[in-house]
Chains A and B, each alone.
Chain A
């Protein structure tokens, strides 16, 4: 049981480049979300999805796109990378908005130069 798998673990981008951070879960979770973690800021919600075909914006959505074509996958796209997007990105999933904790991926450390 792999849980939540994020790839890549590390990435360096040049300003203006685009890329996709991958997130996949094998727990049949309906709820998936993307967070970014910056020093002193905690985790801030970028986008989330409550099921295939349904996505919504979180606290800091600008510069990021998401789609949810399957229950398992929830990729995060950086359209034109900026140094302000240097951060650690976490994907998380949950079976339902109930008592259970969210399962987090191991994170992607992204540096934009």
Chain B
């Protein structure tokens, strides 16, 4: 079974609108961390946001927020006020368990295109 599932096909959003990118995960460990990364066409991996499994509040970083629903095992990324520069591939990742031997596992990614 996949640990990280990103099933949306290519996503499109109008500039200045908000968009939600879906991510579900699977783990039996109570201690884990969830990440979102952005990969623009230039290829680099850019860290966006982190959510710990014990965090009481949803993580936010500027225009990025993470809609963490623990019972549903979902960690959706919300991008507000989309910009043309947000066009990229977005990866959800999970680290489990948190600790010295933890591994970071990625989903297959979602392509986001922002229309002017």
Q: Which of A78-113 contact B (CB under 8 A)?
A: 88, 90, 92, 97-104, 106-107
Complex CA gap A61/B7 in Å reads 26
A91 to chain B, nearest CB (A): 10
Q: Which residues of B contact A53 (CB under 8 A)?
A: none
What does the 1/0 interface line of B57-100 toward A look like (CB < 8 Å)? 00000000000000000000000000000000001010100111
Stretch from A11-19, A21-29, A44-52, A62-70 forming part of the interface with B = A44-52
Q: Which interface class (under 10, 10 to 19, 20 to 34, 35 or more) fits A?
A: 20 to 34
B108 within 8 A of A: yes
Q: Which residues of A contact B43 (CB under 8 A)?
A: 88, 106-107
Contact of A107 with B101 in the complex, beta carbons under 8 Å:
no
A85 to chain B, nearest CB (A): 18
Q: Which of B10-61 contact A (CB under 8 A)?
A: 33, 35, 37, 43-45, 47-48, 50, 52
A33 within 8 A of B: yes
State which of B35, B105, B108 has its C-beta within 8 Å of the C-beta of A41.
Answer: B108
Total contacting residues, chain B, CB less than 8 A: 27
Complex CA gap A50/B103 in Å reads 10
Contact of A45 with B44 in the complex, beta carbons under 8 Å:
no
Q: Which residues of B contact A40 (CB under 8 A)?
A: 108
Identity of the chain B residue whose Cβ is nearest the Cβ of A96 in the assembled complex: B100
Q: Which residues of A contact B52 (CB under 8 A)?
A: 99
Contact of B109 with A42 in the complex, beta carbons under 8 Å:
yes
State which of B4, B98, B100, B103 has its C-beta within 8 Å of the C-beta of A58.
Answer: B103
Contact of A101 with B105 in the complex, beta carbons under 8 Å:
no
Residues of A whose CB lies within 8 Å of any CB of B are 33, 35, 40-45, 48, 50, 56, 58-59, 88, 90, 92, 97-104, 106-107
Residues of B whose CB lies within 8 Å of any CB of A are 4, 6, 33, 35, 37, 43-45, 47-48, 50, 52, 91, 93, 95, 98-109
